[in-house]
Structure 1
């Protein structure tokens, strides 16, 4: 088994919605809106507030999708409404509101503004793997790794989720997250067993204040933040996000739907920006990308920096 993840594409949405529909735990939660999930996700794909990945097992013939992870940046009003009893299932409620034209997902502009000042509310829409992987340690590790990588570098205020299995509920709680009590407080452990908690709508989450006090817990990594230095433009960020996968410029052009010359011009713009704001990053202070070893070396330096500083690739008001 070799599980990896990548951004969800339009062609993946049908299979991902089917995975949710056939999931014995989360499928029934959707009830009357189950058949609408595909259309809603397809309409939201590409928005800054809609974060979606698929998990694949490359050792299976044809590289099979074995899981899906979707989260959203939501309004303060929605976050407060989900904290008021009676608790509800977040994914189905987000689907219903989107169908009514009342989606609580932030606009692209609102995401940029909140990520620059004030902070974002993160709600996990759905995270699920196929039933045969429920007790697979590698699958759990892949989901956790993807979740952290997808959301690290954002200015988060609070994060909340509803694990798809009893096993993953325990994993999340061990990570440093807390259960939301009916009085609106997060607590380390409620007065009920996890089996009882899992049977009903429940929330597991963490606030920024608590997270930064939990040294060593992976959930706390989500809330580590520093302001970006480079101020990359959205087109530059899109190229850099794709480049993190280690692809060639020609593959970048195909992935982004642009010409090879446009890719090279974007790299030049990126290097010039970095040389202005982080002049010590490149060897010898050279900003112009050359072909050959020196060009590859500069790109490696930049990619290594971005892996440690994901805030440079997050939307922000410039």
Structure 2
């Protein structure tokens, strides 16, 4: 079992799981447009990584078989306020109905960067479905630690101010409550839906937490430090895809660039790391002779990848207004007449 970010070619399998699970009710209009809406979202901002994850079983007789899918969106604060003020079931239905009506509830990368460097972001965990809905099923047990790992991969390092999540059934709601979420609303499920289909919406808001609160989510994303490396968006994307195990060739195919461009991106990442942290790849075991290069090539890259895995804030969009102000040219001095 593993998790990875969804690509456009994965969408048929994701839609199949959505339909076979049967607990997320969509209108005919949203369901008919969902393949296009998902594909447009994945392509947005030059294929910057999105919080759209699948979990797949590589040991199944029908491997790889998608076992679970999950989506999350950063939304405008006004959209979040509306969803909390006027709750309705099926967040994904409501969000994509807004899009089809000509509105844009989702933040783009530039807006995410501003919110990340500012007061924080509003995050909607709009969909999570498993093939085996029973949390006691062996496949669910195998998914559980990978769910936490995928959550960290997608959201650690973001300055999240508040979150709203939707799950289906009482066991799912209890599981989210154990992670620090507070129940916001429970809706009735239709009589034709499978058991344990009641939509549960749960929320967590940093403003309602005691100062320096210690609870599960505070360890990961409620108080991230600002980045120090200043990696560009393109370098961040290459590094994130490498973190999930993609090869250079796979990264190139996903982003529609050449393998040489990926290698050039890695040179930029390694150069930046060496400039900011020259001791990161220094040999501390005295295994190399004095003056010799400590590490090279794939070994250097492996060390850098592990550092970035521990500091995900370096891979998140960030727009520091004070830094921009420092870069702005000063007004020209008026010439005397």
TM-score by length of 1: 0.83
Partner of 1:313: 315
Output the CA distance in 2 between the equivalents of 1:223 and 1:127.
Answer: 21
1:177 aligns with 2:176: no
Output the CA distance in 1 between the equivalents of 2:318 and 2:256.
Answer: 24
Could you say if the C-alpha distance between residues 279 and 83 of structure 1 is closer, same or farther in structure 2, counting changes exceeding 3 Å?
same
Partner of 2:92: 91
Alpha-carbon displacement from aligned partner over 1:109-162 (angstroms, at most 9, x marks no partner): 111111121211000121111136643222233223212321110011101101
1:38 aligns with 2:35: yes
Alignment match of 2:5 (pick from 7, 24, 33): 7
In the alignment, is the contact (CA less than 8 A) between 1:173 and 1:204 conserved in 2? yes
Could you say if the C-alpha distance between residues 220 and 32 of structure 1 is closer, same or farther in structure 2, counting changes exceeding 3 Å?
farther
Give 1:86 shift: 4.5
1:16 aligns with 2:14: yes
Could you say if the C-alpha distance between residues 232 and 261 of structure 1 is closer, same or farther in structure 2, counting changes exceeding 3 Å?
same
Aligned pair count reads 296
Residue 93 of structure 1 aligns to a residue whose secondary structure is: helix
Could you say if the C-alpha distance between residues 123 and 139 of structure 1 is closer, same or farther in structure 2, counting changes exceeding 3 Å?
same
Output the CA distance in 1 between the equivalents of 2:87 and 2:34.
Answer: 23
Following superposition of structure 1 onto structure 2, how do residues 164-313 of structure 1 map, counting pairs within 5 Å? 164-180=168-184, 201-209=199-207, 210=209, 213-218=212-217, 220-283=219-282, 294-313=296-315
Could you say if the C-alpha distance between residues 59 and 109 of structure 1 is closer, same or farther in structure 2, counting changes exceeding 3 Å?
same
In the alignment, is the contact (CA less than 8 A) between 1:179 and 1:204 conserved in 2? yes
Alignment match of 1:140 (pick from 134, 140, 144): 144
Residue 17 of structure 1 aligns to a residue whose secondary structure is: helix
Following superposition of structure 1 onto structure 2, how do residues 126-137 of structure 1 map, counting pairs within 5 Å? 126-131=127-132, 134-135=135-136, 136-137=140-141
Could you say if the C-alpha distance between residues 237 and 50 of structure 1 is closer, same or farther in structure 2, counting changes exceeding 3 Å?
closer
Output the CA distance in 1 between the equivalents of 2:71 and 2:293.
Answer: 39
Stretch deviating more after TM superposition (153-162 or 126-135): 126-135
Could you say if the C-alpha distance between residues 85 and 199 of structure 1 is closer, same or farther in structure 2, counting changes exceeding 3 Å?
farther
Could you say if the C-alpha distance between residues 263 and 29 of structure 1 is closer, same or farther in structure 2, counting changes exceeding 3 Å?
closer
Give 1:36 shift: 2.4
Output the CA distance in 2 between the equivalents of 1:213 and 1:98.
Answer: 37
Alpha-carbon displacement from aligned partner over 1:14-42 (angstroms, at most 9, x marks no partner): 2212322232321x354653232222111
Could you say if the C-alpha distance between residues 301 and 14 of structure 1 is closer, same or farther in structure 2, counting changes exceeding 3 Å?
same
In the alignment, is the contact (CA less than 8 A) between 1:87 and 1:202 conserved in 2? no
> Unaligned stretches of 5+ in structure 1?
183-197
Give 1:169 shift: 1.3
In the alignment, is the contact (CA less than 8 A) between 1:275 and 1:281 conserved in 2? yes
Q: Which has the larger radius of gyration?
A: 2
Give 1:211 shift: 8.0
Output the CA distance in 2 between the equivalents of 1:211 and 1:242.
Answer: 36
Give 1:107 shift: 2.1
Give 1:64 shift: 0.8
Alpha-carbon displacement from aligned partner over 1:83-124 (angstroms, at most 9, x marks no partner): 114534211101111111212101221111111212110001
Stretch deviating more after TM superposition (100-109 or 207-216): 207-216
Could you say if the C-alpha distance between residues 97 and 144 of structure 1 is closer, same or farther in structure 2, counting changes exceeding 3 Å?
same
Q: CA RMSD in A?
A: 2.8
Give 1:314 shift: 0.7
Partner of 2:157: 153
TM-score by length of 2: 0.78
Residue 154 of structure 1 aligns to a residue whose secondary structure is: coil
In the alignment, is the contact (CA less than 8 A) between 1:212 and 1:224 conserved in 2? no
In the alignment, is the contact (CA less than 8 A) between 1:50 and 1:73 conserved in 2? no
Output the CA distance in 1 between the equivalents of 2:49 and 2:95.
Answer: 13
